[in-house]
Amino acid sequence: MKKLVLIGYMGAGKSTVGQALAKRMQVLFWDLDAYIEEKQKRSISEIFAQDGEESFRQLETKYLKELLEREEDGVLSAGGGLPLRKENRELLKKAGYTVYLLVSKETVLERLKEDGSRPLLQVADREARIEEMLRIRHPIYLEAANISIVTDGRTIEEIVEEILGNSYFGKNS
């Protein structure tokens, strides 16, 4: 295994699961959004507000490449929109192993109800926005991933165990 990448919608638990997984596997962990914020010295919301989504997407690809090129093995949690670009999906296919963390609209609404840090969810009808985005993105996430894991109602440990116990993962680690 070189890189294990977690993808999925906002609120799926990519960062939390990623951290726990990296600890278990004793490899490095990177959160791509946090990495972008650190490199750019501004928040994701500021990047969206100042430069627009397209600029953010370019930065996302640039820093994805930077992290994938690193020598060390590691777990990487990607932003929810990263697999939308074909270029990024191709990079993921080459990188190692991609896991899709599936989440329902209801869980996203509940988990992010106090959250103001996701610019794409700052809309009047959040429920409709999430539903529409999930409908468009779900097939893209499926296509990008080696395996998919349902996260609703499950603990971090259960999700980590499922990823570690996956036979495909075992063969490629």
| In contact, 12 and 101? CB cutoff 8 Å | yes
Residues binding ligand S3P (CB under 6 A): 10, 14, 33, 44, 79-81, 118-120
Nearer to ligand S3P, 66 or 168 (CB): 66
Alpha helices, H only, 26-151: 32-40, 44-51, 53-68, 86-95, 105-111, 126-144
> Closest approach of Cβ 172 to ligand S3P, in Å?
24
Nearer to ligand S3P, 120 or 147 (CB): 120
> Closest approach of Cβ 56 to ligand S3P, in Å?
7
3-state secondary structure of 87: helix
CA terminus-to-terminus distance, the chain: 4
> Closest approach of Cβ 64 to ligand S3P, in Å?
11
Nearer to ligand S3P, 3 or 118 (CB): 118
